[in-house]
Every structure is written in C-alpha cells, then in structure tokens.
Amino acid sequence: MRHDFTGKQPAVIDIFGTGGGLMEHRAALLSSKGFAVLSLAYFDYKDLPKNMDELELNYFEEAIDWLSSLPNTSDRLGFIGTSLGASIAVLAGIHYPKLRAVVPINGFHMLDSFNPMKVNGIPFHTASGDLQHLDMKDGILRYSSFLASIPTSEETIFRIETCPKDTYWHFLTSGDDQACCSEKSARILENRLIDAGKGDQVQVSILKHTGHLLEPPYMPHCEKSWHKHVGSYMVWGGDKYNQAKGQEDMWNKLIAFFSDKLGSPPALPPFSGAFKKSYL
C-alpha cells in the first residue's frame, strides 16, 4: 500500500488454489502497478484449516470488510483467484456486494465433493462424479476428465446470475487446461449471466494452448508436478511458447480490467535504484 498517497487506491484480494500456503508473487507484481493488494492464505498455512471441509466463505467476507475499511483503499474491491480460488472468487462475487471486479482463473462452475465449503456454518451443495473418469497414465493424473464428467444441476451450480447488477466478471481461461474443464465452466457461467440480462457484466478470454498454471509473465511453464494434497503427480497442460505468450496476454487483460472497473491506480514515484524498467 502506498504510504505517500493520500487518495483512494484500487484494492484487490488475491488467492490461489489447493496448493495451500501463502503465495505472494502475483500480489507483489500487482502492487508494483499501483494497486493495494492483500495476498490471502486460507488453507494449510499456520493456524488455518488443514482440511478442505473446514473452509468457510465467511473468512473471505472478513478479509473483504477489513481491506475496504482502510482509509486509503477503494470502497469496492477486486478479487482474483486461481483454480479452487477461482471458484471461491465466484462465490464471493455472488454473496458480497463490496466486490466490483472479479477475475476467476481456470475454475470450476460448481464445488466438487473433494472441495467442500460452508457459508454461515451451512455446507454448500457439492457435485459428485464417477472416479472411473479419473485419467491416470504413467502415474500422472489428469483431473479435468473427472470434472468434465460431473453432471451440472441447479442444486450445485453457482447461481452467478444472482450477483449484484454492478459486479463485473472477467473469466481468464486456459485453452489446454488439463486440471479443470475451465473453458466449459466459464461459458456455462457466462451464459447464465447473459440469460439473466447481465451479459454486459461478463467477459471471457480463452488463452489458446495454455495450461492450468496460468501465472504472471515470465514465470516458467510447468507441464506437470507433484500435488501434495492430492498425493499424485498432475498434468497441467500447455507448452512453453504458448504459455509464455498467453501469460503476457493474461497480465495485460488483468491490469486493464481492474483499472477500468476499480479506477486507474496512482503512478508510482520515481525509483532511484539500479533497475530502471520493468517489463511486466
């Protein structure tokens, strides 16, 4: 947060997925563009829940209320989440009017039975699928095949169309997401908003040939890695060239969306250190 700035900074909450812990790199880079950013851990960090069934959406409401109450932050916030964090971002955007600009990255349009959550102590409905659809090859799991097999029902789908009329959405979606059927999910939620007469509140960007781990620019492409909570190697998709190109595109879209909906961030003061230019 800018201590030398007396106006209101556009403020954003930033979360990731089931990898857990506290990940601050994206928040730091957003801060370098002039946003006030809260990098929020919610799982497997210090005294936070170790099990997914302990998660409460109200935890995020507390963070929203705190960040928006600060004297130098905007009253309406942005929210960005990746993977499970994208699903949480959607739920938060539906429930909490203080959110104005929501960016889900590669999320699902429901909570599956492995990722339950509560609000006000009441569990959300979760969707179950047939584990036979889990695609395991050479010890590497492709989770998207399982999620794609889960039928959508009105009981389990996120009712995004009930969001406030001035909450805006930009779904950033990888075209080769091997961990989630994120393009399908984004289109399902987009269509619900369109059918409710809220089509002007949503946009979907498909980043072709990119994988699930859509990071800020110049982060290396990761095709597969060990997932400690799943207990297996998982394949994420994408290739080196298209991931690099897509991440630059994603970053530009993200900055433009938050600047448009939350207000342009203040210019950073001149930096007299050794590095004169950033390419982010």
pLDDT exceeds cutoff 70 at 35: yes
* Mean pLDDT of the 31-59 span: 93
DSSP 131-198: GGG-EEETTEEETHHHHHTSPP-TTTS--GGGS-TT-EEEEEEETT-SS--HHHHHHHHHHHHHHTT-
Summarize pLDDT for 84-118 with one digit per residue, the tens: 999 999 999 999 999 999 999 999 999 998 899 99
Residue 241 CA to residue 112 CA, distance in Å, equals 32
Kindly report, residue by residue over 116-139, the tens digit of the pLDDT.
999 999 999 999 888 888 888 888
Among 150, 171, 151, 149, residue whose Cα is nearest residue 160: 171
The pLDDT value recorded for residue 51 is 81
Residue 240's alpha-carbon distances to 30, 107, 137, 210, 225, in angstroms, are 23, 22, 22, 9, 15
| Residue 153, CA distances (Å) to 52, 161, 196 in order | 22, 15, 17
122/144 Cα distance (integer angstroms): 28
The pLDDT value recorded for residue 218 is 94
Q: How far apart are CA 256 and CA 45, in angstroms?
A: 31
pTM score, two decimals? 0.93
Give the residue numbers marked as catalytic.
Answer: 83, 177, 212
User: Residue 214 pLDDT more than 90?
Assistant: yes
**For range 155-180, the mean pLDDT:** 98
pLDDT, residue 271, reads 58
DSSP state letter for 112: B
Instruction: Check whether 280 has a pLDDT greater than 80.
Output: no
Domains and CATH numbers, the chain: 11-262 (3.40.50.1820)
